[in-house]
Amino acid sequence: MVANKKEANGATSSAASSSVSAVDVFWDGWFNSFKLFQSIQDGVEEKALQTFTNQKEWIQSTSEQFEKAQDESKKWATEWKSNFKEALSKTPKPISTPDYAEWTEKVEEIGDKAQALFFSPGKSSLDLLSKTHAQVEKTIKDAIEQQQKNRVEVLTALDSYVDQIKQIQNSFLSKVTGTFQ
């Protein structure tokens, strides 16, 4: 009978120790899952920031291409005006009258206005896109930074809370198992 009592107590002791570790395992598993969720959020934030970087690079590349096209257009227009003036200067004198200078100015004015009409909307749109993108990016970065600070605070508080719960439940289990011994 004494042996049976010891076996029962031994079984009770090992049940209590397995219950204690079960509490630790449960709460550690829950907290690790929570931390995993936090790391997934970090990954999503990193991908969002990478997307903004890619968009910024695209806007910058498009702006550079646009400026190159504008520069090429200006070179071509300057070359065309120069060739036009040269051709007019080589014409016989009766055509080279005082109207020649006025006519050349009109052609140059038309060319300048055509260039302005062609490039101004695109340049303005790219400038607006760039400024808007920078503002949205700053807002998102600020929000992510605040979220990260909040997550650190929550994680720290939960770590302490989980430790307290584990201590309370382990204490409760050891008292309950102690009454049955």
* Parts of the chain with a pLDDT under 70: 1-21, 92-98, 100, 181
Distance of CA 43 to the CA centre of its chain: 11
Q: What is the pLDDT of residue 98?
A: 60
What is the token pair recorded at 48? 């969002």
Q: What is the pLDDT of residue 94?
A: 59
Q: What is the pLDDT of residue 97?
A: 58
Q: What is the pLDDT of residue 7?
A: 42
Q: What is the pLDDT of residue 93?
A: 60
Query: What percent of the chain is predicted at pLDDT more than 90?
Result: 41
Closest by CA position to 68, among listed 131, 122, 114: 122
Q: What is the pLDDT of residue 44?
A: 93
